[in-house]
Amino acid sequence: MRRRFRRRLIGWYRRNARDLPWRHTRDPYRILVSEMMLQQTQVDRVLPKYEEWIRTFPSLKTLAAARPAEVARAWRPLGYNVRPRRLHAIAREVMHRYDGELPSDEPTLRSFKGIGAYTAGAIQSFAFGRRAPIVDTNVARVLFRVFVGQGDRTTTPLKKHLWSLSAALLPRRHVFDFNQALMDLGAMVCVARRPRCSVCPMSPICQAYPFNPDLEHGSG
């Protein structure tokens, strides 16, 4: 089942991947910026701001040297103003304590305010190619439907189970593509309200297929 899941997911991704600018880089700083922006904001709103931000602050060093007012201004109109403050603080701490290199290990990444389990996994797998799992809302929905099928996916044991599943499914190679593909499938096909089961590569192995919203509890 796991092997079939991986094979189907990667095959689908090769044909359907979204072309997003942060998929053309392995620069830890750029990955960090994109992940902080995507934490509370939809991809289509992040796209223009990401490009602009990278032009204004092309490196951790330039961001660390900027004044707080400049950083806050550059973030607008993305909401949740705690995020640029945190990003700025991370840049300064990395310059000060880590010689300008964003650390790649999970405990250190998670010691920064603003980097939780998901963002640490994303930075590790997208910037450093590590076999680190990710579970965001989209990924949780896909894994729940394919492997569990029905019930309440907001309980703590279930959330833990989804993290374990995400880790167990990781391939030995191509972790970048695998994690990006998981997010794309949740964003484009296995969406919250009306999943597009008829075009989904997982339908032959999915526990929730054919999808019945009455059998699923929990939002997102």
Contacting residues toward ligand SF4, per CB under 6 A: 142, 145-146, 189-190, 195-197, 200, 202-203, 206, 208-209, 211
* Nearer Cβ to ligand SF4 (88/145): 145
* Nearer Cβ to ligand SF4 (90/140): 140
Helix (H) or strand (E) holding 217: strand 216-217
Return the beta strands (E) in 49-199 as ranges: 151-152
Least distance from C-beta 22 to ligand SF4, angstroms? 25
Among 35, 70, 93, 216, the active-site one is 35
Q: Report long-range pairs for 124-127 (Cβ below 8 Å, ≥24 apart).
A: 125/175, 125/176, 125/179, 126/22, 126/26, 126/31, 126/35, 126/176, 126/179, 126/180, 127/26, 127/27, 127/28, 127/31, 127/32, 127/102
Note the maximum CA span of the chain.
54
Least distance from C-beta 132 to ligand SF4, angstroms? 23
* Nearer Cβ to ligand SF4 (97/196): 196
Least distance from C-beta 42 to ligand SF4, angstroms? 20
35 included as an active-site residue: yes
| Residues involved in catalysis | 35
